[in-house]
Amino acid sequence: MGDELRDLLHSPNQGHEKAEPARSRWTPKPEQILILESIFNSGMVNPPKDETVRIRKLLEKFGSVGDANVFYWFQNRRSRSRRRQRQIQASLNGGEPPQTSGGAVHSYGYSGVSSFMPSHSLFLPPSGSSSSSCGSVGHHDGVDGMFSFSGHMSIPEREQAPHVNSILCSSDGSILCSPSDSVLQYQSVAAVIMLLIYLCISFKLQTPPAWKMASKDWKSSWEQGPILGNFQ
């Protein structure tokens, strides 16, 4: 039966265009991934329900998505981020350290500090105010040269803070981020871009967010975790 449904959804309209959903699993668009990634990196690794809804609304500007998708995304992100972290730790530790010695464990502490970003939803206005007009739907093209970056980022993988501050917090660098983390700055780039986008949108500029990006390369290079650990 599920097959029937699937068939129904599949067999027809498979000709052209794009608006027609080929029902299967959600496939986040690059822009959406950027947003999600940014939010995650901003410290909100586990958005509460209301935030999730808002995030979804934001994401919907770039393609259909549901709350569940957002929820799952964060769940998986947290989970995989953590797991990887652990693996790295483990391998770093050596071949096999079955030690139970004093090494207290767990608490994969995200000791990082948040960036200058208020670690909370800066994408999402406080309330369902007028800011993000969800009505805007369906224009994915337009500004074609808003940002142009070249090269690609190759971020190893490190569970650390994005450090947007590395650039922003010039003066005294009160926050963390060592100068050698230059690579990490690329992560910030994306976050910042999203911020810009958000601003454009929320300020009603309604600027059709349209950039382009290599959905291929960047993806692989974006493997890192949250920062967080903040708040209390």
Query: Cα separation of 200 and 221, whole Å?
Result: 27
212 sits near DNA (criterion: CB under 7 A): no
80 sits near a second copy (criterion: CB under 8 A): no
> Of 27 and 182, which CB lies nearer to DNA in the complex structure?
27
Radius of gyration of the chain (CA): 20
Query: Cα separation of 50 and 120, whole Å?
Result: 13
9 sits near a second copy (criterion: CB under 8 A): yes
Query: Cα separation of 177 and 48, whole Å?
Result: 28
**The only residue of 20, 21, 64, 76 in contact with DNA, by rule CB under 7 A:** 76
Q: Minimal distance in Å, beta carbon 172 to DNA?
A: 7
168 sits near DNA (criterion: CB under 7 A): no
Interacting partner of 175 out of a second copy, DNA, none (Cβ under 5 to 8 A depending on kind): a second copy
218 sits near DNA (criterion: CB under 7 A): yes
On the CB side of 214, CA atoms within 13 Å amount to 13
Between 67-93 and 30-41, two packed helices, what is the crossing angle to 10 degrees? Answer: 60
Q: Which two tokens stand for residue 33?
A: 């991934």
Contact set with DNA (CB under 7 A): 9, 23-28, 33, 46, 48-49, 68-69, 72-73, 75-80, 82-83, 106-110, 162-163, 165-167, 170-171, 173-174, 179, 214-220, 223
